[in-house]
Amino acid sequence: MKKLMLGNAAVARGLYEHGCRVASSYPGTPSTEITEELSNYPEVYTEWAPNEKVAMEVALGASIGGARSFCAMKHVGLNVAADPLFTASYTGVNGGMVIAVADDPGMHSSQNEQDSRHYAIAAKLPMLEPADSAECRDFVGEAYRISEEYDTPVILRMQTRIAHSQSIVELGERTDAGVKEYTKDPKKYVMMPANAIGRHVVVEERTARLRDFAETSPLNRVEMADTAMGVIAAGTCYQYVKEALPNASVLKLGMVNPLPVKLIQEFAAKVEKLYIVEELDGIIESHCASIGVKAVGKELFGLLGEYSQRTVAEKLGQPLPAGEAFPEAIPGRPPVLCPGCPHRGMFYSLHKIGVTVSGDIGCYTLGALPPLTAMDTTICMGASISGLHGFNTARGAESAKKSVAVIGDSTFMHSGITGLIDMVYNRGASTVIVLDNSITGMTGHQQNPTTGYDIHGVAAPAVSIEKLCEAIGVNRVRVVDPNNLKEFEATVREELAAEEVSVIISRRPCALLKSVKPKPALSIDHGKCITCKMCFRIGCPAIAMVEGKVEIDPTLCVGCGLCQQLCPKQAITGGDK
Amino acid sequence: MSKTTNIMIVGVGGQGSLLASKLLGNVIMNAGYDVKVSEVHGMSQRGGSVVTYVRYGEKVASPIISLGEADLIVSFEQCEAARWLPYLKKGGKLITGDQKISPMPVITGAANYPENIPERITATGCDLTVVDALSLAEQAGSAKAVNIVLMGVLSKQMEFSVEDWKAAIAQSVKPAFVEMNEKAFDLGREA
């Protein structure tokens, strides 16, 4: 049967068909749907872990235990999981182990543009890179085969345009790989120096064998055409090259680490001019330079952002299609907090109080944008709390009275807890606001350890944020509804004044949750409205000026009532108030 | 290689472009073409400008569409139609719903919503169709069916039969919503 499938769904299909039994992941765009889709196959155990390091350790444990295992993450998630990654390379596997990592050239939904291929090189692990959904499915099977034959975890490198593009996949049946025997083998699995010294030898030998494999594997293929121009490319870039240069000869790499030597040298010898088209860093290019192959790459195509067929055509002097532009600049449409979003009232209050806000990763990062502009820093998962501790330590006791950290429930579980322990243990006095909206929001509603549900939506033990904070030693834990602006502001002011660490749990479920029923839309009483625009200060997309009057769009408004609390003339009608 | 047809679906995050592209993708795949549908999930979906690329033909390589390459653009919102206009190839067709949704820079007063968008798009020489998709969707039973109404409008520009489209609707939405979506499709096709 043929099916139009998202690259991520095709990876899940490949895992199902090739006998994966255990998968553990932390959500991260653009990798999330792999594990979500996989959870629909009852033959595969799936779970959301609190972070990527835990997920990879679960997958490695399952592999040592004899099952084909899997974990998925976005590129920055691999930073979190780097510790087990490097040593998993030494232990190798028992059941096959595949790690999917999704890069995000162009940063559609990320805080940096790092290239995960560096990790494959540094950890000495084979890495495959599919170029469409059919390859996503097939490469998973090949990855498990390589993993078990070469005794190594295998990284499957995804990119936004592969992960989030749908193309046609021919579905197959599942072959159950079973659970292999586990035999105690400390020399392989106990990585203390004496044993690891021996395993490093194994890793280097394995890399040499994999390099030979790369020379002949069908994962890498030459498509000879016009020899005037040859191009080496993988993944999305291969597709851009095929689109822009249908007559060029192409060496398509499906295995991007280790890279072949002879195959590249022979291909280079057959073409008059060689180009390397690769997004992000010049990794294939550096490899070519190291084996004496001359090629044009980054000097022409650059290091920034994502490419397209137009990039390839433009840089190589091909004719470019053109369209007509609208005769006026179009206002930008940045993403915004949704109507009814519980973060809106919280950020309005913080903006009003005028505190420095140490931010984190999630929907609430949008609080950095006008008109709320209530965010000073956003670095990585968990950095809001630890970063604030550093900031206030540098600036002295008064600073803690004028600053807060904001972090979501899922991010707090991921890596906020350790920062909070640091803050309490080292006698900090800062204020931390945990934004508990009962879901992992930004990545599209995944459950997490605080929500009380597992990946299948089945009731599960819930971590109590209050009790956890108390156990860490936080004496001041407050729970408040961010949509009650007066109470929220008063609570923040009290906790800022406190001489010890405070945690405010800003608790209201995400407005997009099915369990949250929208209330009837509010409307403007134009007899009372004085167009003071106070209601515009919360940045609600449902409120706008229409022909000189303030109007509420009834198709967008969910009746949260936040704007009513700001209106000095009670001109916003409807709802409870 | 035979020609690849390029269609873009553009709008504001939350307007239902993902379902529209799923429907379109299924119609095309059922007809035996190679097809790629590309969109970005995540942050941009939160009320931002969103775009889906649909490409089909004998064999499709790139999943995305660049400037001046689109044969057809379907927009859910006027300002988005203007934003993506440069992606339309010369002689291409643009279909837009007549809804206007103010982006945040307009709400905060940092920018103005462009005036007379349809007239000014037509003045560039573009073949433009404007449809009151929201009213038709409400008539079909749900304001959310704007996406399917616009697929009905688009269907008149494509080679597939009404039966092909209805089979794909049944494939793409939950059984309880098939009838309402078929009605929305019909209203769009008749508009």
pLDDT score recorded for residue B47: 83
Chain A CB contacts of B83 under 8 Å are 326, 330, 333
State which residues form the domain around A426: 342-507
How close does chain A come to B186, measured CA to CA in Å? Answer: 23
What backbone phi and psi angles, to 5 degrees, belong to B132?
-80, 75
- Domain containing residue A194: CATH number: 3.40.50.970
Interchain pair A165, B126: CB under 8 A: no
Question: pLDDT tens per residue, chain A (577 residues)?
Answer: 899 999 999 999 999 999 999 999 999 999 999 999 999 999 999 999 999 999 999 999 999 999 999 999 999 999 999 999 999 999 999 999 999 999 999 998 899 999 999 999 999 999 999 999 999 999 999 999 999 999 999 999 999 999 999 999 999 999 999 999 999 999 999 999 999 999 999 999 999 999 999 999 999 999 999 999 999 999 999 999 999 999 999 999 999 999 999 999 999 999 999 999 999 999 999 999 999 999 999 999 999 999 999 999 999 999 999 899 999 999 999 889 999 999 999 999 999 999 999 999 999 999 999 899 999 999 999 999 999 999 999 999 999 999 999 999 999 999 999 999 999 999 999 999 999 999 999 898 999 999 999 999 999 999 999 999 999 999 999 999 999 999 999 999 999 999 999 999 999 999 999 999 999 999 999 999 999 999 999 999 999 988 889 999 998 899 999 999 999 999 999 875 4
**pLDDT the model gives residue A368:** 93
Determine the CATH number of domain B5-106+114-190.
3.40.920.10
State the pLDDT at residue A577. Answer: 44
A182: which residues sit within 8 A by CB, 6+ positions away?
Answer: A64, A65, A66, A94
Closest partner residue to A326 (CB to CB) among B46, B111, B120 is B120
Q: How confident is the model at residue B45 (pLDDT cuts 50, 70, 90)?
A: low
> What's the number of domains chain A is made of?
4
Helix (H, G, I), strand (E, B) or coil at A499: coil
B63-90 pLDDT, tens digit each: 999 999 999 999 999 999 999 999 999 9
In B120-179, the residues whose Cβ lies within 8 Å of chain A are 120-121, 123-126, 134, 143
What pLDDT is recorded for position A149?
98
Which amino acid belongs to residue B162? V
Do A402 and A358 share a domain, yes or no? yes
Helix (H, G, I), strand (E, B) or coil at A4: strand
State whether B62 and A309 contact (CB < 8 Å). yes
The reply to whether A311 and A430 lie within a common domain is no
The per-residue pLDDT for A444 is 87
CA distance A539 to A344: 8
For A242, nearest residue in chain B (alpha carbons): B61
How distant is the Cα of B52 from the closest Cα of chain A, in angstroms? 9
User: Does residue A322 sit within a domain?
Assistant: no
Beta-carbon count within 10 A of B32 CB: 9
Identify whether residues A533 and A503 lie together within a single domain: no
CA-CA-CA-CA dihedral for A14, A439, A468, A456, to nearest 10:
-40
Which residues are paired to A163 by β-bridges?
Answer: none
> Which of A460, A476, A507 corresponds to the end of one domain?
A507
Contact between A554 and B99 under an 8 Å Cβ cutoff? The reply is no
Structure tokens at A128: 């495959």
Q: Any chain B CB within 8 A of the CB of A281?
A: no
Nearest to A331 among B1, B14, B103 (CB): B103
Q: Which of B26, B42, B66 sits opposite A109 (nearest CB)?
A: B42
Claim to verify: residue A463 and residue A531 sit in the same structural domain: no
Same domain, A146 and A235: no
Judge: B88–A336 Cβ closer than 8 Å, yes or no. Answer: no
My answer on whether A271 and A387 are in the same domain is no
Whether A515 is covered by a domain: the verdict is no
pLDDT surpasses 90 at B109:
no
**Where residue B1 falls among pLDDT bands split at 50, 70, 90?**
very low
Give dist(CA A173, CA A155) in Å, integer: 23
Please check whether residues A401 and A499 belong to one and the same domain. yes
What is the bridge-based pairing of β-strands A502-507 and A476-480?
parallel
Residues A84 and A7 in one domain: yes
| A280 within some domain | yes
CA A336 to CA A347: how far, in whole Å? Answer: 13
Cβ neighbours of residue B153 under 8 Å, at least 6 residues apart?
Answer: B74, B95, B129, B131, B133, B188, B189, B191
Helix orientation angle between B178-190 and B162-172, rounded to the nearest 10 degrees: 150
Cα A271 to Cα A292, A297, B72, B142: the distances in Å are 15, 15, 38, 59
Long-range contacts: A200-208, Cβ < 8 Å, 24+? A200/A90, A202/A90, A202/A92, A202/A151, A203/A89, A203/A90, A203/A124, A204/A124, A206/A92, A206/A124, A206/A150, A206/A151, A206/A152, A207/A124, A207/A258
Listed as own residue / partner, the contacts of B136-143 with beta carbons closer than 8 Å and 24 or more positions apart are B136/B184, B136/B187, B136/B188, B136/B191, B137/B184, B137/B187, B139/B187, B140/B180, B140/B181, B140/B183, B140/B184, B140/B187, B141/B180, B141/B183, B141/B184, B142/B180, B142/B184, B143/A555
Average pLDDT, chain B: 93
Give me the residue spans of the domains in chain B: 5-106+114-190
CA dihedral A218, A220, A221, A227 (to 10 degrees): -160
Interface test with B, best of A1, A3, A4, A351 (most B CBs within 10 A): A4
10 Å CB burial of residue A321 (0-12, 13-18, 19+) is middle
Q: Does A107 touch chain B (CB under 8 A)?
A: no
Strand ranges (E), A224-272: 226-234, 248-253, 255-257
Residue B43 pLDDT > 70: no
Q: Which residue of B has its CA nearest to A319?
A: B68
Q: Is residue A356 domain-resident?
A: yes
Least CA distance to B122: which residue of chain A? A326
- CATH classification of the domain holding A538: 3.30.70.20
Six token digits for residue B130 = 């404007």
The CATH number covering residue A303 comes to 3.40.50.920
Query: Can you read off the two tokens belonging to residue B180?
Result: 């309402």
In this prediction the pTM is 0.96
The string of DSSP letters for A5-74 reads EEHHHHHHHHHHHTT--EEEE---TTTHHHHHHHTT-TTSEEEE-SSHHHHHHHHHHHHHTTS-EEEEEE
Residue of A nearest to B82 (CA): A326
Which chain B residues are closer than 8 Å to A367 by Cβ?
none
Q: Which position has the token pair 């490949």?
A: A14
- Phi then psi for residue A73, to 5 deg, are -160, 165
Best interface-test mutation with B: which of A333, A510, A547 has the largest number of B CBs within 10 A?
A333
Q: Is residue A549 part of a domain?
A: yes
Residue A499 lies in a domain: yes
Residue type, B89: K
B contact residues 20-49, partner A, Cβ 8 Å cutoff: 22, 25-26, 29, 34-49
Take residue B127 and report the two structure tokens written for it: 């073949």
B106 vs A240, A331, A369: nearest CB = A331
